[in-house]
Amino acid sequence: MSVRVEADEESGVAVVTLDRAAKHNAITPEMAARLGAVWRGLRYEDAVRAVVVTGAGTAAFCTGIDRTAAGEVPQPSSPYTIDDPLISIGPKANDLWKPVVAAVEGMACGGAFYLLGEAEFLVAGEGAAFFDPHTAYGMVSAFETVHMAQRMPFGEVARMALMGTAERISARRAYETGLVSEVTETGGALDAARRAASVIAAYPTEAVQGSVRALWSVKEAARAQALAHAPHLVALGNLPAERQAELFTRRGNGARGFRLR
- Mean pLDDT of all residues in 60-65: 95
Give the Cα separation of 46 and 216 in Å (integer).
21
Please determine, for residue 70, whether its predicted confidence score (pLDDT) is greater than 70: no
Q: Which of 128, 142, 153, 114 is nearest to 226 (CA)?
A: 142
Model-wide pTM > 0.85: yes
Domain containing 71: what range?
3-188+202-209+221-260
Mean pLDDT, the chain, rounded, equals: 89
Q: Is residue 194 part of a domain?
A: no
Q: Is residue 20 part of a domain?
A: yes
Q: What is the percentage of the chain residues whose pLDDT exceeds 90?
A: 66
- Mean pLDDT of all residues in 134-150: 89
Q: Is residue 242 part of a domain?
A: yes
Structural domain count, the chain: 1
The CATH number covering residue 163 comes to 3.90.226.10
- Residue 221 burial (CB < 10 Å; 0-12/13-18/19+)? exposed
Q: Which of 13, 247, 23 is nearest to 138 (CA)?
A: 247
